[in-house]
Structure 1
């Protein structure tokens, strides 16, 4: 692993300074406070401002088409995180948009992509079902083609449709052939969320984030919104899942974000610095803080799926330790009198739980590592065989 420093050109330093100053003007204390209160991880004003400035388009496009260079993309990712930008909606939108660019019709892509890059249109994911868990292929949401073939009728429900209330379309996995094997029965649609029959209900997670349950009751969708082939949805979905899992092919310049959710570790690193500044000065505290720093650095240096697991597990292990070091005040939430770090430690403690669930549980990712990296067999969850009497 190469830990060399990157020496910025004058142009890249100017880009960094301009971006940093721009973020300072739009990501205000009020924006951050409101984001903590709502748990939406999204601010429309910030999103539209970044789109109008051309940053969203530059993040989406390759350098050959006017997008960021590798160095500028790394600067962009770091500064977005350091500014505490309410941000997690854009990577989801971009992930879906990249899949659309590969599988959607040219007509649909030409209609939507400019609006996505301007920030006017946002996209969310409709994968998980109430009884489906992390296995999205066990989809029961049905899409039935109408007789004339021009449209589909969709019925079903989805859990954890985060930011559906701020999005215009949901990237929805449906079952179009219940009699087929589960990976050959799926078809993907981009469903307009203002369609009659769509209902969005809020759902709060333990860390205070808002996600949603979405219901689809006789929702009619034109065939133009189908993405990919009928019953070929697994091929379409697999590309998006690879991006969400962090298993996409890496470049050879060493500047890509090492793993998904590294922005969460920026928050943890800041909290660890603040804890060290006010914690008691004795051997036990120094040992625990040093151990936390070592764990955090190791997690931040782990790539791909390994990094995703290491980041989530490290957050789960370190945050209760920090709260214990700082005492009862660290358990008080934001805007509570006497809260340590104005509730920052309590927020991170709650945030650590769902980081091990996003895009699949830690157990799912550990099984993927075991099977696809280490070459081990599939896990066997059947009960142990009873010994003969």
Structure 2
């Protein structure tokens, strides 16, 4: 593994300088403070500015189609993380946009795609249901054909960003009698301002806002259907694989090697802050790191984090999320009682980093599916251990 510093060409350095100027101008302390308060992980002013400069379209497009070069794309991603730019809604919009281009009618593509690149059209994911858990193929939200329209009834949980989006990428059940659950699904791109849709906010333990969305006799045109009737699983597979992080990174080293790398880098920053604090000499000239127990616990945490960040594919997804759960309480315990104070609180010893990591870790273990689901996927599809059996054992 090559850990040498990448030397940027002159045009790449100019690009880095350009976007640092842009991000420092638009992603201000006020934007970050407002984001912590709302939990939206979205700021319309920042998003529209990215659209106006062309950054959204360039991120979306391939290099040969006018998009960022591979190096520019990596610089863009790392710099957005550096300034903690609100980004979740753009991430879901990219996923859905590829499906709109691949499966949408010409009329739908013309309605949606220009606004995606300007920043005015955002899209969210309508997958999980209140009683459905991680198995989204068991969708009970029904779509019934009525002439040239469809009528939708049901509810979706964890529709993050719905209150800031124009469309939802919605999985529905269009044939309850189908023998196989994956053959009863149809995907729609539903305008969220349609009559009968109600969006209710939910706050998670880490402070983020997500939503439960109710669909009550929601009538939409067939033009909003993506793909074939009862062929929704084929439409869903690409975005689902990307969200699950089961797509291999490119071999040029310019991709995140696993999904949740953003969260993993925050964990790395948190442990760096703890290391700096325990390494400071006290009034007696001694540092807390001089205590062998502190050094051992901190060293093990650093090693766990480095290992997790170096683990690829869906294995890395599991490793990062599990490491966050294990390391966060360890870091708080090393720092002591002041570590329970959140960001912006007087006396927060590490600017609230460990406390936030502790609250964020459980959520990272369920994004796109629980850790248990991914461990079962690894067991079944990689290790060949067969499907898990949850039925009670008969005596």
TM norm. shorter chain > 0.5: yes
2: CA distance between counterparts of 1:131 and 1:67? Answer: 41
> 2:249, 2:257 within 8 Å by CA — same for their partners in 1?
no
SS of residue paired to 1:360: coil
Deviates more, 1:368-377 or 1:181-190: 368-377
CA distance in 2, matches of 1:303, 1:54: 31
Confirm whether residue 251 of structure 1 aligns to residue 260 of structure 2. no
Aligned residue in 2 for 1:46: 46
Task: Find the aligned partners of 2:171 and 2:85 in 1 and give their Cα distance.
Answer: 30
> Can you list the C-alpha shifts for 1:64-105, whole angstroms capped at 9, x where unaligned?
100011111111111111111111111111011011111111
What's the counterpart of residue 9 of structure 2? Answer: 9
2-structure distance, mates of 1:355, 1:311: 9
Q: How many residues align?
A: 384
SS in structure 1 opposite 2:350? helix
Contact in 2 for aligned 1:202/1:213 (Cα 8 Å): yes
Distance in 2 between residues matched to 1:365 and 1:270, nearest whole Å: 26
- The one-character-per-residue Cα deviations of 1:326-366 (angstroms, maximum 9, x if unpaired) are 11111122333322233232111101110000000001111
Structure 2 residue 377 is the aligned partner of structure 1 residue 378: no
Instruction: Tell me whether 1:284 sits opposite 2:293 in the alignment.
Output: yes
- Tell me the equivalent position of 2:64: 64
* Contact 2:124–2:160, Cα closer than 8 Å, also in 1: yes
Matched residue, 2:197? 198
**Worse-matched range after superposition: 252-261 or 77-86:** 252-261
CA distance in 2, matches of 1:343, 1:256: 29
Which residue of 2 is the match for residue 178 of structure 1?
Answer: 176
> What do you get for the CA RMSD once the two structures are aligned?
1.3
| Partners of 2:72 and 2:344 in 1: CA distance | 36
| TM-score (normalised: structure 2) | 0.95
CA-to-aligned-CA distance 1:316-335 (integer Å, 9 cap, x gap): 11111111111111112233
Preserved CA contact (<8 Å) 1:23 1:83: yes
Q: Does 1:305 align with 2:304?
A: no
For structure 1, list consecutive stretches of 5 or more residues without a partner in the other structure: none
**What residue in structure 1 maps to residue 157 of structure 2?**
159
**For 1:342, what is the secondary structure of its paired residue?**
coil
Structure 2 residue runs without a partner (length 5+): 279-287
Moved more, 20-29 or 188-197: 20-29
Measure, in 1, the Cα distance between the counterparts of 2:175 and 2:2: 49
Cα deviation for residue 129 of structure 1 reads 0.4
Paired residues of 2:257 and 2:310 also in contact (CA < 8 A):
yes
Matches within 5 A, 1:211-230: 211-230=210-229
Partner in structure 2 of residue 168 of structure 1: 166
TM-score (norm 1): 0.96
Query: Which deviates the most, 33-42 or 250-259?
Result: 250-259
- The aligned residue for residue 235 of structure 2 is 236
